[in-house]
Structure 1
Amino acid sequence: MISRPISNLLDVVVSRQESLAPRIQHLPPAGSRPLVVAGRVAGWITPRATACVRDMPGVRITDEAVYVVAVPRQRLTLDSLMARIAGVLNENGCLRGWRDELLDVYGEGRRLCVLERAAMRPLGLLTKAVHLNAWAPDGSMWIARRSLTKATDPGKWDTLVGGLVGASEALDASLVRESFEEAGLQPADLSERTPLRVILRMHRRLPEGYQVEDVLVSDCVLPEGVAPVNQDGEVSEIRLARLDEVAEMLQADAFTHEAEACILDSLMLRCRAAQG
């Protein structure tokens, strides 16, 4: 028989999952066109970004799509061409800041080149984000509040660890790196974590473009006595929250969409385990 607290939690999880879907699964922004990189469909470029790259070498625009290819005769590799595109978008105010971080560009499941992180959304390119749902031995959850200086979702609550996978970076290596940067965790603290699992591919319209993102999550019970401490200044607060507090925060839209998806997935697994 399911206990009443677990039954109540399951009701919250199911309700929030149903309400989350329309908030994170959108059609591309109006007027966007498919972006084809090296012959492979890779993203959705916004009208504003299309206008900015119109006269660039290696770029061909049709009514149906925008095509980007290397130009060997001008010594323009795909990487260097994409770097030029990012620069032009930045000069024309299409980017939200400049991160000086490179991410992989994927097209039809294949890694094609790299690109400045800030340029991914205006081009609607796929990113991959790794998250850690960290639990305490008593069943409460470690959560982190995003810094007020963050460009996206400042001040919102988040999973303890979450970040984008860098260029040529293995998924597990990315999670270990982010776990130290955001929470000061060492690899030994994560030794009992579950394998990363893809929980969804998000398609969300943003002011600067289109977020197409694979969201991956791992769960871990941190050892007794381990207290996460932020290292990179991107988190303003880390604290433990009881399950009833987490449920209340979910219902109050206190978490980022990505964090909510990760937390709901983990809570659903726990509810199913309690049922079984």
Structure 2
Amino acid sequence: MSDKSFPPALAPFLRHIAACNSAVLPGGRLPFFCEAEQIGWVSSTTAQTLQTLGIQRGQSFGLNTGTELLPLSQTLCDMGLYASHKEAFDVRNDSGIVLGQVDRGAIPVLGLAAEGVHLNGLVEREDGLFLWVARRSMSKRLDPGKLDHLVAGGMSAGLDPQTTVIKETQEEAGIPAELAATARAVSRIEYALERPEGLRRDVLHCYDLTLPHDFTPVAEDGEVESFHLIPIQEVVALVRDTDAFKFNVNLVLIDLFIRRGLFAPAEAAILKNALTDRTV
């Protein structure tokens, strides 16, 4: 379906979805394998570096075992292709089996899929639904100062989505583990886009957490500058009219708006389809 066939009122929301699905694959990239399975896509710049390391396979690149992934990512860092995050992420195949680990910063360089969690911190009040929104610290490497979810983070090596939620809620917002454990898994969002750091192929595990009226989040790890409790209608307006939120937060919020019945059924169906259709 072309953008021209969409109702004009949806255009401001659809632009966020399109922006997060801007990557064309392969788009001049070459496949990157681990053993016999393709796990990534590399740009011409990365390909030139991999050639010097002797891991070319004809018109593709690859490693013989997953244990070589982490040393390769460390080598690419040493060669200046990215700055280390000093955090290991699991690399999975299409079946979800962990093949090995890489430094988080190498993921977009190699075009690998990465998983993370986003949590909607909700407060149900007599005057309506409110959402806790975080403002990212100006010291953040990516999107400093942008608005963000109450809790959002990548899934470090060895963790699953639920464990990551509990870990990140404590670190980022001071939420006790017993409260964080009541978060509900509500959706899964995938996208592929070009970013300054490389190709982002992200999988977001989305959660809703209903918080007590008297709860106030506390920034525990310095990644958040401030927290704000905002009526959901104001959040809708921010997504619709601005680029105030970090790029991928918009998708998770649109999913929340759909599930909360903030769009007419026909509009909700279009947006829901757009969230799962990378050609839109």
TM-score surpassing 0.5? yes
From 108, 117, 134, the equivalent of 2:94 is 108
Q: Is the 8 A contact 2:17 2:251 kept in 1?
A: no
Q: Distance in 2 between matches of 1:38 and 1:192?
A: 39
Question: Which residue identity does 1:242 align to in structure 2?
Answer: P
- Describe the SS at the equivalent of 2:261: helix
| Aligned residue type for 1:222 | L
Q: 1: distance between equivalents of 2:10 and 2:210?
A: 24
Alpha-carbon distance in structure 2 between the residues aligned to 1:216 and 1:245? 24
Alpha-carbon shift at residue 106 of structure 1 (Å): 1.6
* Post-superposition offset of 1:187: 2.1
What's the CA shift for 1:13? Answer: 8.6
Contact 1:28 1:210 (8 Å CA) reproduced: no
> Counterparts of 1:160-239 in structure 2 under 5 Å?
160-198=150-188, 200-239=189-228
- 1:252-271 matches, cutoff 5 A: 252-271=242-261
Deviation at 1:93, TM superposition (A): 1.9
Structure 2 CA distance for partners of 1:181 and 1:13, relative to 1, 3 Å? farther
1:43-62, aligned counterparts within 5 Å? Answer: 43-56=40-53, 59-62=55-58
User: Which of 117, 120, 126 is the matching residue for 1:130?
Assistant: 117
CA-to-partner distance for each residue in 1:106-147, whole Å, 9 max, x for gaps?
Answer: 223232111111111100001011011011232111000111
Please name the residue that 2:20 is paired with: 24
Q: Is 1:98 aligned with 2:94?
A: no
Change (3 A) 1:274 1:209: closer
Distance change (3 Å), C-alpha of 1:201 and 1:193 = same
**Within 1, Cα distance between the matches of 2:15 and 2:259?**
19
For 1:123 and 1:23, locate their aligned partners in 2 and report how far apart those are by CA, in whole Å: 21
Letter in 1 for 2:84: W
Which has the higher mean CA deviation after the structures are superposed, 237-246 or 265-274?
265-274
Give structure 1 regions of 4+ aligned residues with deviation exceeding 6 angstroms: 272-275
Aligned AA (1:197): S
CA contact (8 A) 1:190 1:222 kept: no
TM-score, normalising length: structure 2: 0.83
Q: Aligned with 2:227: secondary structure?
A: strand
What is the CA deviation profile of residues 134-185 of structure 1, one whole-angstrom value per residue up to 9, with x for unaligned ones?
Answer: 1123211100011111111111101110001111212100011011111110
SS in 2 for 1:219: strand
Q: Judging changes above 3 Å, is the alpha-carbon distance between structure 1 residues 192 and 208 closer, same or farther for their aligned structure 2 residues?
A: closer
Whole-angstrom distance in 1 between the partners of 2:99 and 2:86: 19
Alignment match, 1:240: 229
Alignment CA distance shift 1:252-1:168 (3 Å): same
Distance (Å, rounded) in 1 between the aligned partners of 2:173 and 2:153: 12
The 8 Å contact of residues 94 and 208 in structure 1, kept in 2 or not, is answered as: no
Where structure 2 has 5 or more consecutive residues not aligned to the other structure, the ranges are 1-6, 266-280
2:62 aligns to what? 67
1:27 aligned partner, one-letter code: V
The number of aligned residues is: 253
RMSD over equivalenced CA pairs, Å: 2.2
Q: How does the TM-score come out when normalised to structure 1?
A: 0.85
- The separation in 2 between residues aligned to 1:185 and 1:31, in whole angstroms, is 44
Aligned to 2:145: 155
